[in-house]
Chain A
Amino acid sequence: MRVLPRIVPDGTNFPFFRYRHWAFAASVVVIVAAIVMMLVRGFNLGIDFAGGILLEVKTPGPARLAEMRTTLGGLGLGEVALQEAGSSDLVLIRVVRQPGDESAQQAAIEKIKQALDQSFGPGLDYRRAEFVGPKVGEELRRAGTLAVVIALVLVLVYLWFRFEWQFGVGAILACVHDVFAVLLVFTVSDLEFNLSSIAAILTVVGYSLNDTVVVFDRVRENLRRYKTLPIDQLIDKSVNETLARTVMTTATTLLALLALYLFGGPVIQGFVFAMLFGILVGTYSTTYIAAPVLYYLKLRPAALAAGESAPRPG
């Protein structure tokens, strides 16, 4: 009935756990690099967080970027960035936040439109005009961070409740690792960091948790089934048993995201790129962050003792 062979053969027994030290080293490098890059280079903050002005203009013919740059540079509005947006007749104009209050931002938008109309109009089409005041940017930044932290805390509580506290800690550490890895992508690349980026990070957190919980669920089951198996072997066994599912799900999700990346248009491309990367990282972190944490937090001895004192089923 099936056309393709199974991606993962039955009864694999990869010794994932043995390579944990290498993986730890890699993870530490990623996290340290992320922190260093955040401090040194920072993010390419979009106007959502930095405040400022964003205009998208469609020109009748191919846009004369260099001339536009000169025109707008002469307006005395500070840093003005121009960039082609998807096709040669689309221009994204970004202007840093204007000193003064909100009306100063409004005035700047008018000034830009006037200057462009004068030199390149008529026939210019302003497809998008956005400005975010300084106060709002600050608030959005706080709300975004708050959302990530609250989500993680609630998930920790849930996993503690449904499993053991070690599972909660393992899952959260894996998530934190994933968040840093995605942040690293944002700092290294020039991807704009905006509200959508927060959504992307939270999706990665959601996916990573999903993946972690599936493996943890199997660990929990195997803990009951194999009362004396050492925890490292038990972890390897659980990861191997769920490997086929992990690979399949990652494949279909990546397939869907890849379609979105290639055909979804420029507006969400950055958003999708971060997710593509994050989903790979989320899968990795289950095996090399979440599961080893169970080992180091000595899940087995305590759970084992409790398990043996309880009557054995069947």
Chain B
Amino acid sequence: MRIPAWKRWLVAVVCVVAVLALVPNFLSRETVDRLPDFLPKNHVVLGLDLQGGSQLLLEVDAKAVVKDRLEQLVGEVRAALRPAQIGYRGLGVQGEAVVLTLTDPSKLDQALSELAKINPLLPAAGFGAGSIRELEIEGRNDGRIHIALSERARAERIGAAVTQALEVVRRRIDELGTREASIQRQGVDRILVQVPGERNPEAIKRLLGKTARLTFHMVAMEVDPAEVRAGRGPAGVMLVESAERSGSREWVLYRQVELSGENLVDAQATFQNNEPVVSFRFDSQGARKFARITQENVGKLFAIVLDDKVISAPRIREPILGGSGIISGSFTTETANELAVLLRAGALPAPLTVIEERTVGPDLGADSIRAGVIASIVALVAVIVFMVLYYGLFGVIADLALLLNLVLIVAAMSLLGATLTLPGIAGIVLTMGMAVDSNVLIFERIHEEVRTGRTPLSALETGFDEALRTIVDANLTTLIAGAVLFQFGTGPIKGFAVTLVIGVITTMFTAVTVTRIMVAAWYWRARPAQLAV
């Protein structure tokens, strides 16, 4: 029962660090900020179920990402085959592929070699991946060609779209001035948005529900919409609905994108003639293009299209050289503001869908905290009293270890910035019950050793040593289960796993070192002739 000095120091240092780590939880944010830098400043983060807030799980529309690329590809195919003078018909997107049929099937080989030029190798990633191309091009003898994205190109494109969407979502939510929102990627094509304190997620959902793809097109004024609808319109035009709710007017626009939202550097909601409007400014490249377009097309209509709807189509009265302009439409102050935010934050690469939503009001959160705290205190007091009544002095030692254990759990959670959820509180309470188990194992083992006739000192030493093996094996199995939970769990399960895993580790530490040091200290002072465990 001699404890080496380094072990006592270790325990002392851990205790000091734990107490320091605990402190920020009880101070206001301002006070914490004023603390010297070497002190830990993190605190336990309360989960949304405790502090109230909204959680949205968004899914990036992967099909739309692929479709976008395929539509782009149609243009590339056209451009590749034209110089070689290869005739074809039926070029278009079908499902997840671009298809076309050669008018002269004997030119298949020539067509395939032209198409190979627009099929680059993908940059190597990992081993032996250097030979994968973006497209899988198959030609049949009857002249039909089928072009699809390769598996890897598809995955990379979707991955890039999610990364970009993540950034846009972050910017949009930042624009709202929402504090402490957490935005994370989840799985392949998901984005998890957590906004504490948000009662009504409608505003956020509205903001994230828009792709905000802004394009500018010339209006094909000479074409009759009815012709286009009937499929008899000239090539290179499209029919686009008006955004205005009243009068579902349709516009015929040239497909060619003259300018797009990517060229915008700023957008603000302002007023013009007492009407809410959105003013915008192009970057230098955009400004040059805008100047050229407005110079060449004075008197014509210029359509501003947002998410495939025409917001407005003003007549160009004079060349606009300054690179800034105004979008007017039937805006309210609120919608003008929203559009400005969307334009500033940029377009999403693909639409997002909310596939899961959880909102907890702050009242319910507060109720849960109160219930959790009361339950924890009752559980703690019950266990403490029971242990003292049952084990006497050794019970007091076990209780001190238990209290220290709790301090360590909260301290570890603070340092890691871990999230405390309601199931997490349950995990802590459960740990209390199980933490006592380690001490029970030790005490019962000592009791047995005393009964076999060992001296007190020998019984204590054997008891601790023999119990240690059991404690390690038993706790490691629990640790395995906890780690799996953490790895595969989401939301409440993860919160529970965090406290369980931390609790198991701190329990092993306190049972193996702290209890032993206290028992040793008592033994060398009291030097009992016999043990009553």
Chain A interfacial positions (CB closer than 8 Å to B): 1-4, 7, 10-11, 56, 58, 101-103, 106, 125-133, 135-136, 140, 143-144, 146-147, 150-151, 154-155, 158-159, 162, 171, 195-196, 198-199, 202-203, 205-207, 209-210, 213-214, 217-218, 221, 241-242, 244-245, 248-249, 251-260, 262-265, 267-268, 271-272, 275
Q: Which residue of B lies closest to A110 (CB)?
A: B202
Contact (Cβ within 8 A) B437 A252: yes
Please determine whether B493 and A133 come into contact, CB atoms closer than 8 angstroms: no
Minimum CB–CB distance for B388 against chain A, Å: 8
10 A-B pairs (CB sep. < 8 Å): A2-B389, A2-B390, A103-B353, A133-B356, A135-B355, A150-B484, A195-B493, A203-B430, A210-B437, A255-B383
Is B87 positioned at the interface, with any CB of A under 8 Å from its CB? no
CB nearest neighbor in A for B491: A195
Residues in A with CB closer than 8 Å to B448 are 241
- With a cutoff of 8 Å between Cβ atoms, the chain B residues found around residue A248 in the complex are 390, 440, 444
Given A213-B474, A265-B375, 18 other A-B residues pairs in contact with their CB atoms under 8 A: A4-B389, A10-B447, A11-B451, A106-B354, A127-B360, A129-B358, A147-B489, A151-B480, A155-B477, A155-B480, A196-B493, A214-B470, A249-B436, A252-B433, A256-B432, A264-B372, A264-B429, A268-B422
Count of residues in B whose CB is under 8 Å from the partner chain: 80
How far, in whole Å, are A132 and B358 apart by their CA atoms in the complex? Answer: 8
- A139 to B, closest residue via Cβ: B187
A129-B359, A150-B484, A217-B469 in contact; A209/B478 too (CB < 8 A)? yes
Kindly state the separation between the CA atoms of A221 and B473 in the bound complex, as whole angstroms: 13
Known: A154-B480, A252-B387. A203 touches B422 (CB 8 A): no
Q: Is the CB of A199 within 8 A of B493?
A: yes
Cβ of B433 and Cβ of A206 under 8 Å apart?
A: no
Using an 8 Å CB-CB cutoff, how does the interface string of B474-505 with A read, 1 for contact, 0 for none? 11111011101101111111001100100000
Residues of A within 8 Å of B13, CB to CB, are none
Q: B478 is contacted by which of A102, A140, A210, A259 (Cβ under 8 Å)?
A: A210
Bound form: Cα–Cα A129–B198 in Å: 12
Give the docked Cα–Cα distance between A265 and B360 (Å).
Answer: 15
Does B488 contact A256, Cβ atoms closer than 8 Å? no
Tell me which of B354, B378, B394 contacts A263 (CB under 8 A): B378
B249 to chain A minimum Cβ distance, whole angstroms, is 25
Whether a CB of chain A sits under 8 angstroms from the CB of B520 is no
Q: Are A210 and B485 in contact (CB under 8 A)?
A: no
Chain B residues near A128 (CB-CB < 8 A): 358-361, 364
Q: What's the nearest-Cβ distance from chain B to residue A262, in Å?
A: 8
Query: In the bound complex, do residue B477 and residue A214 qualify as a contact, i.e. CB atoms below 8 Å apart?
Result: no
In the complex, the answer to whether B492 meets A252 with C-beta atoms within 8 Å is no
Q: Report whether B481 and A209 are in contact in the complex, using a CB–CB cutoff of 8 Å.
A: yes
Interface contact A210-B477, CB-CB below 8 Å: yes
- A159-B477 contact given A2-B392, A147-B488, CB 8 Å threshold: yes
Q: Which of A143, A245, A258 contacts B490 (CB 8 A)?
A: A143
The answer to whether B437 and A249 have CB atoms under 8 Å apart is yes
Give Cα A102–Cα B58 distance, bound, in whole angstroms.
Answer: 10
Q: How far is the CA of A21 from the CA of B222 in the complex (A)?
A: 92
Question: In the assembled complex, how far is the CB of residue B533 from the closest CB belonging to chain A, in whole angstroms?
Answer: 9
Give Cα A140–Cα B359 distance, bound, in whole angstroms: 18
In-complex Cβ contact of B451 among A10, A150, A195 (8 A)? A10
Say whether B371 faces chain A, with CB atoms less than 8 Å apart.
Answer: yes
Contact with A along B352-390 (1 / 0, CB 8 A): 011111111101100110111011101100110011111
Determine chain B's interface SS by DSSP, over half rule: helix
Q: Are B532 and A210 in contact (CB under 8 A)?
A: no
Q: Are A267 and B368 in contact (CB under 8 A)?
A: yes
State the Cβ distance, A226 to closest chain B Cβ, in Å.
14
Say which residue of B383, B451, B496 sits within 8 Å of A252 (CB atoms): B383
Given known A-B contacts A158-B480, A253-B430, A206 and B361 have beta carbons under 8 A apart: no
A255 touches B382 (CB 8 A): yes
With a cutoff of 8 Å between Cβ atoms, the chain B residues found around residue A214 in the complex are 441, 470, 474
Query: Could you say which of B444, B487, B488, B500 contacts A203, with CB atoms under 8 Å apart?
Result: B500
B481/A151 in contact, CB under 8 A: yes
Q: B393 on the interface (CB 8 Å rule)?
A: yes
Interface status of B434 (Cβ within 8 A of chain A): yes
On whether the beta carbons of A158 and B476 are closer than 8 Å, the reply is yes
B484 with A147: CB separation less than 8 A: yes
Instruction: Report A-chain residues with C-beta under 8 Å of the C-beta of B181.
Output: none
Q: Which residues of B contact A199 (CB under 8 A)?
A: 423, 485, 489, 492-493, 496-497
> Cβ of A196 and Cβ of B423 under 8 Å apart?
yes
At the interface, yes or no: B331 with Cβ under 8 Å from chain A?
no
CA distance in complex: A253, B368 (Å): 22
Q: Does any Cβ of A come within 8 Å of B527's Cβ?
A: no
Nearest chain B CB to A6's CB is how many angstroms away? 8
Question: How far does the alpha carbon of A186 sit from the alpha carbon of B430 in the complex, in Å?
Answer: 21
B364 to A56, Cβ gap below 8 A? yes
Residue pair A245, B423 in contact (C-beta under 8 Å): no
A residues in contact with B259, CB < 8 Å:
none
**Nearest neighbor of A248 in chain B, beta-carbon distance:** B440
Interchain CB contact (< 8 A) of B423 among A4, A259, A262, A268: A268
Most chain A beta-carbon neighbours within 10 Å: one of B364, B433, B437, B492: B433
- Closest beta carbon of chain B to A67's beta carbon, Å: 23
Tell me the smallest distance from the CB of A271 to a CB of chain B, in Å.
Answer: 6
Q: Once the chains bind, are B355 and A260 in contact (CB under 8 Å)?
A: no
| Residue from B393, B426, B500, B532 with most neighbouring chain A CB atoms (10 Å) | B426
| CB-CB under 8 A for A2 and B532, given A159-B477, A199-B493 | yes
Contact of A268 among B356, B393, B426 (CB under 8 A): B426
A217 x B390 contact (CB < 8 A): no
